[in-house]
Structure 1
Amino acid sequence: MATVYESALGSSRMLSSVSSLSSSRHQSSQIAKAYRQAAQLFLTRRLPEALSTIEPIITPPPSQEDANASYNEDLSAFAPVASASRGTRVKVWSFYLTFLNSVVELGAEEGKHAFGSSSWKALVSKCRDGSVWEDVVRDGYAGVEGDVDAEVVVNLATLLLTHSPSQRLNQQRLETYLSASANPTFDVSSHMQSSSYLQRRPSQQNNGTNTPRDLNTRLKILELYTLHVLPRNEEWDYAREFISMSEVLDDERKEAFLLALHSLKEEKEETESREAKLRQQQQEQLEQRRKESEARRLEQSRAEDERRKREEENRRQPRGSDEVFRKGQHRQVPSASSRAAARRPAEKAASPPPGLYRRFASAMGSMQALVLNTAHSMTANPMALFRTLLFLLAFALAFGRRDLRERVKRILRDGWDKVRRTVGMGVKVSYI
C-alpha cells in the first residue's frame, strides 16, 4: 500500500513538474512575442504602442503589486520577465532602457504630444532621478541587487550618466552592485525555495568573469564607474585608488585606465581654464560696454543741457529785440501832420553846392588816408619814417639858403611862363 502511495505521489509530482514546465515555456513564448512586437513598434516610431506592449511583461501582476513580495517557485509575485531566461531578460530590459532614452530625447513638446503631459513627465523622471534602477532591481530581479545582469547594469549606468543631473545615485548603485556581485550572499530560508532562482544564480558568481564575454562586460562597468561616474563627482583620487586596487584589472589595463583618467583630468582642467578666460573676457567686454554706454549717456546729457540753454537764450533774446524795435519804431514814426510840417521846411532849406561838397569830402578822405598810411608806415617800417625826416630836414636846410631859394623861384617862374605861352598859342589856333 505504501508503494502504491509513493507511486501515486511520484506521478503527481511528475505531472506538476510537466505542467509547470509547460506553463513556463508558454510564458517565455509570450514574453518573446511581446518583446518582438514592442521592438517593431519602436522601430516605426510608434512609441506609445511600444510602451503599452512591453509594460505587461516588466510590471508585476496587479493583484500582487502591493503585496509583501516573497519568493515562490514560479516568481509570480514579480514581473513576468523575472522568470525568463538570461538572454530574454537582457533583451527586454535593454530594450526598455533604450526606449526611455528615446522618450527623453523627444523633448517636452513632442513628448507631451505623444504620451500626454503627466505620462511623459513620469517617464522622464525615471531617468533623471534614477528611480528606474530601483524598478528594474525590484520587479525584474526579485530585489537582489547583485543578480542584475551585467549588460543591464551597463545600460542603467549609461542612461543615468546621460540624463541624470547628479551622479551620486549612479555611483551608489554601481558600488552596491560591484560589492554584491563580488561577494555573493545566500538567504537559505528563502532562496532555497526557488528552483528557478537557483538555476540562474551561478552565472553571477566569481566576480562575474566566468567567460570572456562576462569579463568584457565587467570591464565596461569598471570603465563607466572609474572614468565617467567618479570624475563627474570630482572623485579623482578615489578613482585612481580604485583602479590601482582592482582585482579584475591586470597591470596593463591598470596602466591604461590610469592614463585615461589622467588625460580626462587634464582635459577638464584645460576646459575650466578656457571657460574662466572666456568668462573674464566677457566680463571685461561687458565692463567696457558699460563704460562706453556711460560715456555716451554723459555726452548726450551734456549735449541736451547745451541745447536747452541755447533754446532758453533764443527764447529770451527775440522778446528783448522785438520790444526795443517796437519802442524805437513807436518813437521814430511821426504822425501824418508832423511828417507834412517837417517836409515843408526841408523843402525850403537850400542844399550846398555839389562841387564844394565833393571837394571837401575828397580832401577829408585824402587826409584820413594819409594819416592812416603814415601811422601804418611808422608802425611797420620805422626806417622809412627816419629817412622821411632826414629828407624833410635836408629840404629845410636847402631852403634856408637864399641863393637856392632865388634859383628855385626863377626856375618856377620860367616854367610857368612857358606854360602860359603854350596855352595862348593853343587858343589862337582853335580860333583860326
Structure 2
Amino acid sequence: MATLYDDVSESRYLSSSISSLSTSRQQSSQIAKAYRQAAQLFLTRRLPEALSTIEPIITPPPIDAADVVGHAPVATASRGTRVKVWSFYLTFLNAVVELGAEEGKHAFGSTRWKQLVSQCRDGSIWDHVVRDGYAGVEGDVDADVVVNLATLLLTHAPSQRLNQQKLETYLSATANPALDVSSHMSSPAYLDKRPGHRRQHTGTDTPRDLEKRIKLLELYTLHVLPRNDEWDYARDFIDMSEVLDQERKEAFLLALHSLKEEKEDTQAREEKLRQQQQEQMEERRRETEAKRLEQSRAQDERRIREEQNRRQPRGSDERFSKPQPTPQPTPSQSSRTSRTPAKKPTTPPPGLYNRASTMFANIHTMISDTAHHMTSNPMAFFRTLLFLLAFGLAFGRRHLRERILRIIRSAWDKVRRTVGMGVKVSYI
C-alpha cells in the first residue's frame, strides 16, 4: 500500500510539473509573439497600436486573477525575452517623447501622451520596470535594461540626481547582494532558476557581463556624474574601481579630464557671448538715448524757431505800419501844384535820406544859434548864408533844394524879426 501511495504521489507531482512547464512555455510563446507584433507596428510608425500590443505583457494582471504573483507576465520570461521586451518599451518611450507635443497629442491624446512623457522626465519609468518586471528587486534587473534606463533618463530628464541615485543603488546591489531570503525567493530570477543557470551577483561572471558592467560605469562616471558637477567624486570612483584595470582607468580619467575642459571652454564661450550680448545691448541703449536726446534737442530748437517766427511778423508789421511823416507843401508849392499836374516825388534811399535829415537838422540848429548872434556879427550870417547856397546848389535833387529853401526862409524870417526887434529897442 505504501509503495502504491508513493507511486501515485510521484505521478501527481510529475503531472503537475509537466502542466506547469507547458503553461510557462505557452506564456513565453505569447510574450514573444506580442513582442514581434509590437516591434512590427513600431517600425511602421503605428505607435498607438504598438503600445496597446506591448502593454498587456509589461503590466501586472488584474487583482482578481487566479494566478496573481505581483509582477507582469514578462517577469517570468527568459532573460533574453525580458531584455528584448523592456529594451523595446524604453525605445518606444523615447520615440514618443521625440514626437513633440502637437503630434504626440494627436496620436495618443493629451492626457495619455503627457503620462508617457512624464515617465521619462521624472524617472518614474525606472520604478515601473523594477516593480512590475523584477518584483521590486533592484539587483535583479538585467544590466542591458539598466543601461537603457540610464540612457533614457540621461536624454530626457532635466535633472540627473535620480539617475545617479538609481545607478548607485544598482551598482551597490549587484556588487554586494542583500541576504533577503523572502525577496530573493519571490524574484523572477529565483523562479526562473534551473540547474545549470547561475545567478549574477557581481555582474562580472562572464565577458559579456563584464562588458555591460564597464558600460554602466562609463555612463555613471563620464555622463551622469559630470551632469551633476561631481567631477572629483567621478575621479575618485574611477581610481577605486575594482572592475576597471589600469589601462581602462587611465582611459576613463583622460576622457573625464577632456569632458571637464570641454565644459569649461563651453562655459567660457557662453560667458563671453553673454558679455558681448550685454555690451551690444548697452551700446544700443546708449545709441537710443543719444537719438532721443538729439530728437529732444531738435524739437526744442524747432519750438524756439517757431516762437521767433510767430513774434517776427508782428514786429515787422508794427515797424512797417508806422505812418511816415509827409512834408507839408509850402504856399509856393501849393500854387505851383494847382497850376501844374502833381508829380510823384522820387523817394530817396532810406540810408541817404536819414543821413541828409540828420545833416539838415544840425544845420537848422546852427542857423538858429547864428540868428541869436546876428546883431553882434552880421558878416558871420552872410558867410553862413553863402555856404548854404553853395551847399544847396551842390545837391541837384529837387526835394533837397526845396528843403534848403524852406530852411533859409525860416532862418531869414527869424533874422528879420530879430533885426526888427533890435531896431525898436535902439529907438526906444
Alignment TM-score, normalising by the size of structure 1: 0.73
Give the 3-state SS of the residue equivalent to 2:56 in structure 1.
helix
Aligned residue identity for 1:260: A
Unaligned runs of 5+ in 1: 66-71, 333-339, 352-358, 364-432
CA contact (8 A) 1:141 1:148 kept: yes
CA contact (8 A) 2:123 2:163 kept: yes
Match in the other structure for 2:171: 178
CA contact (8 A) 1:182 1:207 kept: yes
Task: Report the Cα distance in structure 1 between the residues aligned to 2:255 and 2:336, rounded to whole angstroms.
Answer: 118
Query: Taking structure 1 as reference, are residues 233 and 178 closer, same or farther at Cα in structure 2, changes over 3 Å only?
Result: same
How far 1:325 sits from its partner (Å)? 4.6
Task: Report the Cα distance in structure 1 between the residues aligned to 2:342 and 2:313, rounded to whole angstroms.
Answer: 42
How far 1:314 sits from its partner (Å)? 1.5
Query: Taking structure 1 as reference, are residues 231 and 315 closer, same or farther at Cα in structure 2, changes over 3 Å only?
Result: same
Aligned residue identity for 1:275: E
1:231 pairs with 206, 212, 226, which one? 226
Match in the other structure for 2:341: 347
Superposed CA offset, 1:69-106 (max 9, x none)? xxx9x773210000000000000000000010111111
How far 1:214 sits from its partner (Å)? 1.1
How far 1:195 sits from its partner (Å)? 8.4
Match in the other structure for 2:281: 286
How far 1:248 sits from its partner (Å)? 0.4
Match in the other structure for 2:245: 250
CA-based RMSD of the aligned residues comes to 3.0
How far 1:282 sits from its partner (Å)? 1.2
Task: Report the Cα distance in structure 2 between the residues aligned to 1:141 and 1:130, rounded to whole angstroms.
Answer: 17
Residues 1:310 and 2:328 are matched in the alignment: no
Task: Report the Cα distance in structure 2 between the residues aligned to 1:282 and 1:59, rounded to whole angstroms.
Answer: 52
Match in the other structure for 2:366: none
Once the two structures are overlaid, the 10-residue window that deviates more, 309-318 or 120-129, is: 309-318
How far 1:192 sits from its partner (Å)? 3.8
- Identical aligned residues as a percent: 74
| Correspondence 1:195-344 to 2 at 5 A | 197-200=190-193, 203-322=198-317, 324-325=319-320, 328=323, 344=338
Match in the other structure for 1:100: 93
Task: Report the Cα distance in structure 1 between the residues aligned to 2:236 and 2:30, rounded to whole angstroms.
Answer: 47
Match in the other structure for 2:4: 4
Aligned residue identity for 2:89: Y
How far 1:273 sits from its partner (Å)? 1.0
Query: Taking structure 1 as reference, are residues 342 and 248 closer, same or farther at Cα in structure 2, changes over 3 Å only?
Result: farther
Task: Report the Cα distance in structure 2 between the residues aligned to 1:305 and 1:342, rounded to whole angstroms.
Answer: 62
Superposed CA offset, 1:327-346 (max 9, x none)? 659x99xxxxxxx9997477
Aligned residue identity for 1:175: E
| Correspondence 1:48-197 to 2 at 5 A | 48-63=48-63, 76-189=69-182, 191-192=184-185, 197=190
Aligned residue identity for 1:177: Y
Give the 3-state SS of the residue equivalent to 1:89 in structure 2.
helix
Give the helix-richer structure, 1 or 2. Answer: 1
How far 1:179 sits from its partner (Å)? 0.4
Task: Report the Cα distance in structure 1 between the residues aligned to 2:237 and 2:53, rounded to whole angstroms.
Answer: 42
CA contact (8 A) 2:135 2:188 kept: no
Aligned residue identity for 2:44: T
Matched residue pairs, number? 342
Aligned residue identity for 1:310: R
CA contact (8 A) 2:42 2:50 kept: yes
How far 1:10 sits from its partner (Å)? 1.5
Query: Taking structure 1 as reference, are residues 341 and 252 closer, same or farther at Cα in structure 2, changes over 3 Å only?
Result: farther
Superposed CA offset, 1:272-293 (max 9, x none)? 1111111111111111111111
Superposed CA offset, 1:379-427 (max 9, x none)? xxxxxxxxxxxxxxxxxxxxxxxxxxxxxxxxxxxxxxxxxxxxxxxxx
Task: Report the Cα distance in structure 2 between the residues aligned to 1:245 and 1:39, rounded to whole angstroms.
Answer: 41
CA contact (8 A) 1:75 1:82 kept: no
Task: Report the Cα distance in structure 1 between the residues aligned to 2:199 and 2:340, rounded to whole angstroms.
Answer: 140
Aligned residue identity for 1:347: P
Aligned residue identity for 2:263: K
Give the 3-state SS of the residue equivalent to 1:63 in structure 2.
coil
